[in-house]
Amino acid sequence: MTRPLIRQVLLSAAITATVCLLAVLGAGTSAFSQSTGKHDFVELCAPCHGIDGTGKGRDLTEANPPDLTDISLRNGGKFPFEKVYRMVDGRGMMDSHKRFAMPFWGIYLQKQSNQPTPVSDAALKQRITEIVRYVETMQKK
């Protein structure tokens, strides 16, 4: 094999291994989800939704964010994981007029990466997943 082909094969193998590792970590303990998801929630979401997710005690007053603790109640007792994921990510809602009050966190977090790659995109998706998992733990019973 030629050197460029060997490099391409090795790079592809490294990317695949990293994506697999991220998937394994994502399937890990809820303690991992709690710490990462909670940290990002506090940093990104709490200024509008409040530290407890109710929208009370928030730092910003311009927005009128919904209570995140009753998402399951508003959805017949089931947490709509994919719908919440899409709302947090926002990249699939770029043309939505309903979206102006909430940041497109997927775009914001993606811009923090110098050069988006399949690995950085997988890490971004995992990070958003952890935020949504944390919001799921906040649901009223």
Interacting residues of 104 by C-beta distance below 8 A, sequence separation 6+: 89, 90, 91, 93, 94
Question: What secondary structure letter does DSSP report for 19?
Answer: H
pTM reported for the whole predicted model? 0.69
What pLDDT is attached to residue 129? 96
Angle between helices 118-137 and 81-89 (to 10 degrees): 120
What pLDDT is attached to residue 121? 86
The ranges assigned to domains in the chain are: 29-137
What pLDDT is attached to residue 15? 53
Joined tokens for residue 43: 């940093």
pLDDT tens for each residue of the chain, 141 residues long: 666 656 554 445 445 444 444 444 444 444 445 568 999 999 999 988 999 999 887 666 666 788 999 999 999 999 999 999 999 998 877 665 555 678 888 888 887 766 778 888 888 999 999 999 999 999 998
What pLDDT is attached to residue 91? 80
Q: Is 125 exposed, middle or buried (0-12, 13-18, 19+ CB in 10 A)?
A: middle
Q: Looking at the domain 29-137, which fold is it?
A: Cytochrome Bc1 Complex; Chain D, domain 2 (1.10.760)
What pLDDT is attached to residue 137? 97
Alpha helices in the chain (DSSP H): 3-26, 30-40, 46-49, 71-74, 81-89, 105-111, 118-137
